[in-house]
């Protein structure tokens, strides 16, 4: 999701930068309030940590690996404002030093991954963890789901930024000047890659680390969870269940509906030419998300390797990729809904035990 320089027009970069400058200023001030004068080393180590999380390769089914962003993880551990600073700093170091993501595109990249992602993900996490103890199993799953949703919303933002380029910036004869793909292709492409592979790795890493800290190092979780009791037994019985169920249903609906986004834009923008409706797009457009070039994971993914250069051959590939993609999305939804249901089922048991 690291957009390099050259894909976004300077105007887009300027707008995103103008948004991010005050946001980072506020984030610095907010973290200063929370952690007082020790904010500098905490943020620095958080940023270094976030950088390294982006280097962690998480194995995914199919023999390949993907890496997570970790923004929601930092938000859960240190608070969302700290996550804004940490992930931004990590992105600056990557852009300046390791050529990962552009320098002018920093505004857009930080907007997607350092602002949208931690706040959306943290919001989901908060919704799902109301009236739970610090060691509750639901907390780890909620953090993972927060990561999953956060990453996907961030990917949607990136897709929108990229997809607007050919609409807004093209020459007189219709030549796109920057990223050439329309929203009708960028959104499904990013959605497909992030709803499956990248989203899964984000879920695994975020939930896994929170679960590990619940078992091995509870004081670290307390940094950003003051006033939350340690075990379910200490929970005061509350009638907050309906609200929680409502939130869970909301998330589940979101997950179920998100693949519809795959189809909707194709139809909406399909009037240009009938071929636009063809599912081949989704295969092709898995590629822009590959701006995360470290892993090169799509070299191996089911979708990246078919020969889109030959017109006739490609058709079979397109159809195949669409089927595989749909199956993969279905499997992921099944997995998450199952996980959420499992978490919900465990809750009453735990409360019964406590009572």
Partner 1 sequence: MTDGASTPGWLLAGAEDAPPLLCSGKRRRGGAIEKTVGGLARLIREALVSEEIAARRGLLQRLDARVKLIGMLGLLIATGLVRHIPVLLGLYALTLVLAAASRIGLGWFAKRVWFFIPLFSGVIVAPAMFSFITPGEVVLPLGHWFGHEVGLTRQGLTSAALIVCRVASSISLVLLLTLTTSWSRLLASLRTLFVPRLLVLVLGMAYRYLFVLLDSVTEMVTARRARTVAAKRSRRGERAIASFSGGALFGKAHALSEEVHQAMLARGFSGELRMSEWPRIRAIDVISVLTCLALAILVVGGDRALGL
Interacting positions 256-295 with partner 1 (CB under 8 A) = 272-276, 278, 284-285, 287-288, 290-291, 293-295
Comparing CB distances to partner 1, the nearer of 29 and 233 is: 29
Q: How far apart are CA 306 and CA 304, in angstroms?
A: 6
* Helices 80-98, 71-78: inter-axial angle, 10-degree rounding: 140
The whole-angstrom separation of Cα 117 and Cα 90 is: 14
Binders in 88-147 for partner 1, by CB under 8 A:
89-90, 92-93, 95-99, 102-104
Residue from 22, 311, 352, 355 in contact with partner 1 (CB under 8 A): 311
Based on the shown chain and the rule CB under 8 A, indicate whether residue 230 belongs to the binding site for partner 1. Answer: no
77 binds partner 1 (CB under 8 A): yes
181 forms part of the interface with partner 1 (CB under 8 A): yes
Q: What's the closest the beta carbon of residue 122 comes to partner 1, in angstroms?
A: 17
Which 8-state DSSP code applies to residue 170?
B
Contact between 6 and partner 1 by CB under 8 A: the answer reads: yes
Cα dihedral 114, 115, 116, 118 sign:
positive
SS3 state at 66? strand
Sole window of 124-132, 209-217, 255-263, 326-334 interacting with partner 1 (rule: CB under 8 A): 209-217
Tokens of 228: 């939350």
Quote the CA–CA distance of 255 and 119 in Å, as a whole number.
18
Q: What are the structure tokens assigned to 308, written together?
A: 């889109």
Nearer to partner 1, 131 or 165 (CB): 165
The single residue among 22, 33, 174, 227 that binds partner 1, judged by CB under 8 A, is 174
Is residue 71 a contact residue for partner 1 (CB under 8 A)?
no
Q: Which of 20, 42, 248, 255 binds partner 1 (CB under 8 A)?
A: 42
- Pick from 61, 267, 330, 348 the residue near partner 1 by CB under 8 A: 61
Beta partners for residue 65, in sequence order: 59
Sign of CA dihedral 86, 92, 98, 100: positive
For partner 1, the closer CB: 172 or 260? 172
How crowded is the C-beta side of 113, counted as CA atoms within 13 Å?
26
Which residues from 320-349 bind partner 1, rule CB under 8 A?
none
- Whether 156 and 187 have beta carbons less than 8 Å apart is answered as yes
């Amino acid at each position: 999701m690291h957009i390099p320089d050259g894909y976004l027009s300077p105007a887009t970069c300027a707008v995103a930068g103008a948004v991010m400058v005050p946001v980072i200023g506020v984030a610095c001030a907010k973290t200063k309030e929370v952690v007082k004068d020790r904010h500098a080393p905490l943020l620095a180590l958080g940023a270094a940590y976030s950088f390294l999380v982006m280097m962690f390769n998480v194995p995914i089914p199919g023999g390949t690996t993907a890496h997570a962003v970790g923004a929601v993880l930092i938000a859960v551990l240190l608070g969302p404002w700290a996550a804004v600073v940490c992930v931004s700093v990590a992105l600056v170091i990557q852009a300046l030093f390791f050529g990962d993501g552009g320098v002018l595109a920093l505004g857009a990249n930080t907007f997607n991954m350092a602002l949208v992602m931690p706040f959306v993900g943290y919001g989901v996490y908060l919704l799902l963890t109301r009236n739970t103890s610090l060691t509750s199993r639901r907390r780890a799953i909620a953090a993972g789901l927060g990561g999953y949703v956060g990453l996907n919303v961030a990917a949607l933002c990136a897709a929108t930024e990229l997809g607007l380029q050919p609409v807004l910036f093209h020459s007189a004869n219709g030549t796109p000047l920057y990223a050439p793909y329309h929203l009708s292709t960028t959104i499904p492409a990013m959605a497909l890659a992030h709803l499956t592979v990248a989203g899964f790795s984000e879920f695994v890493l975020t939930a896994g680390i929170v679960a590990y800290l619940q078992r091995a190092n509870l004081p670290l979780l307390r940094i950003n969870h003051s006033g939350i009791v340690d075990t379910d037994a200490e929970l005061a019985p509350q009638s907050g269940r309906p609200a929680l169920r409502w939130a869970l249903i909301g998330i589940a609906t979101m997950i179920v509906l998100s693949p519809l986004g795959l189809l909707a834009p194709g139809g909406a923008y399909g009037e240009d030419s009938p071929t636009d409706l063809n599912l081949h797009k989704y295969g092709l457009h898995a590629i822009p998300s590959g701006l995360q070039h470290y892993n090169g994971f799509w070299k191996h993914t089911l979708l990246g390797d078919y020969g889109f250069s030959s017109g006739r051959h490609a058709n079979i590939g397109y159809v195949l990729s669409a089927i595989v993609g749909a199956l993969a999305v279905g499997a992921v939804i099944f997995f998450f809904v199952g996980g959420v249901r499992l978490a919900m089922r465990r809750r009453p048991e735990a409360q019964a035990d406590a009572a």
